[in-house]
Amino acid sequence: MIEILACGPLTTVQDAGRPGHLSLGLARGGAADRQALLDAAALLSGVAAPGIESAGAPLRLRPDVDCTIALTGAPMRVTAGGKPLGWHASHVVQAGIVLDLKPSGEGVYSYIHVAGGLDVRPVMGSAAAHLIAGIGAALHPGDRLRIRAPATPAAATLVRPDDRYAGGTLRCVATPQTALFRKADLDRFEGTAFTRATQGNRQGIKLDPAGAGFATEGQLNLLSDFVLPGDVQMTGDGIPYILGPECQTTGGYPRIAHVVTADLPRALQAPPGAVLRFAFVDLPTARAAVLRPPAVAPTLRDPAAMADLLSYDLIDGVIDAKGEPWRST
């Protein structure tokens, strides 16, 4: 069991969502940052999802069993029983210890997974809360989440955490409506440094164009058709929104571009104020750009940070007595 001692209003259980229901008008949903799920699975060397998604608010958790947790997505400052824990890493934590997590200002969506995954009743094949659709509920202080199969795999660390938490350039492809925009507007779209506005949630994020909007030529009566997460939708006044995992499944607003799946985590992790740009790529490039499991390595602990150093067997086969173990050679 993991008890939620404190959390923000947008804290939910998420997994990879429930694909396969577009014909029923139900979006896939699931984690806003799908790379963070892959990161957690790699760090826990197996079952990670479902886990906890937290959006920019402090969080306090207390497991009642020994378990290994993985911390991925938007970095937070974490302590366990008062001692700091690294982000982009997994840690073995002891039963009863209080995990205290605070937003760092980088990124938006943080993930806390536990080895074995949370035991949450699935709806239509997924444990993911989809609040817009009325599936599941936000987590509240006092909630206790069962762990499906608690385990304590060894601590690990992402070898090269990426930098998707501060905006940047998003690769995108044309949509069926891209050609409705004037060439000059498409050029301006690619040349604009958009600012991620404060308005944003799991349905989508608003961008501030810092100039004129992007209107189509006389196409306000488009027949409603399929909309996907990653679509860059223009409202009637030409303000772009990048759609997220809980977007509607159909819509009549024109989509100027579609952010490739591999770059959607970067889009949705951009915090308010971050700068986002778009770069059109061709379909073969977009299709080759898939999310990949990251490289992880066993965590090598810095002895200086180990308060319990004396409890470790330091000469068990890894120390070369003739070398200088604390200096790289």
Partner 1 sequence: MTDFPRIEPLGEAAWLVRFADRLDDGANRACLAFRAGLLTDPPDNVAETASSLGSVLVRMDDPRGADAVLSALERRLADRDWQAVPLPPRRLWRIPCCYDGDAAPEIEEAAALAGLSVPDAVAALSTTRVRVLALGFVPGMPYLGTLPPEWDLPRRSDLTPRVPEGALVVAVRQLVLFGTSSPTGWRQVGLTAFGCFRQDRDPPIALRAGDEVVFPAIDAEHLTDLQGAADGLGGSVAEDLE
Q: What token pair was written down for 201?
A: 């949630």
In this structure, what token pair is assigned to residue 144? 């206790």
Least Å from the CB of residue 74 to partner 1: 25
Q: Which stretch binds partner 1 (CB under 8 A): 60-68, 80-88, 105-113, 173-181?
A: 173-181
Residue 236 CB partners (closer than 8 Å, separation 6+):
220, 253
Buried/exposed 232-257: b ≥16 CB within 10 Å, e otherwise: bbbeeebbbbbbbbbbbbebebbbbb
If one asks whether residue 124 binds partner 1 (CB under 8 A), the answer comes out as: yes
Q: What is the DSSP string of 41-72?
A: HHHTTS---SEEEEESS-EEEEESS-EEEEEE
C-alpha 16 chain-centroid distance: 11
Q: Which two tokens stand for residue 9?
A: 């209003």
Stretch that binds partner 1, among 3-11, 54-62, 131-139, 311-319 (CB under 8 A): 131-139
Which stretch in 20-28, 76-84, 147-155, 161-169 sits in contact with partner 1 by CB under 8 A? 20-28
Site for partner 1 in 231-270 (CB under 8 A): 231, 248-250, 258, 260-261
Q: Could you give the string, one character per residue 197-226, with x where binding to partner 1 holds by CB under 8 A and - elsewhere? A: -------------------------xxxxx
Smaller CB separation from partner 1, 226 or 312: 226
Smallest distance, partner 1 to C-beta of residue 226, A: 5
What is the residue type of 1?
M
Interacting residue with partner 1 among 228, 239, 275, 291 (CB under 8 A): 228
Q: From the CA atom positions of the chain, what is the Rg in Å?
A: 22
In the bound state with partner 1, the residue whose beta carbon lies nearer, of 110 and 126, is: 126
| 134 touching partner 1, by CB under 8 A | yes
20 binds partner 1 (CB under 8 A): yes
Out of 74, 205, 286, 296, which residue is the one contacting partner 1 (CB under 8 A)? 286
**Closest to partner 1 by CB, 99 or 227:** 227
The answer to whether residue 133 forms part of the interface with partner 1 (CB under 8 A) is yes
The answer to whether residues 136 and 130 touch, using CB atoms and an 8 Å cutoff, is yes
User: Can residue 25 be called a binding residue for partner 1 (CB under 8 A)?
Assistant: yes
Q: How would you class 293 by CB atoms within 10 Å of its CB: exposed for 0-12, middle for 13-18, buried for 19 or more?
A: exposed
- The candidate with the shortest Cα–Cα distance to 245, out of 187, 200, 195, is 200
Residues 30 to 49 in contact with partner 1, rule: CB under 8 A: none
- Tell me which residue of 66, 68, 87, 64 sits closest to 77, measured CA to CA: 87
**135 binds partner 1 per the rule CB under 8 A:** yes
Question: If binding is defined by CB under 8 A, does position 23 make contact with partner 1?
Answer: yes
Q: How far is the CB of 247 from partner 1 (least distance, A)?
A: 11
Tokens of 134: 């009325």
Query: Would you tell me which residues interact with partner 1 (CB under 8 A)?
Result: 19-26, 123-124, 132-135, 173-176, 222-226, 228, 230-231, 248-250, 258, 260-261, 283, 286-290
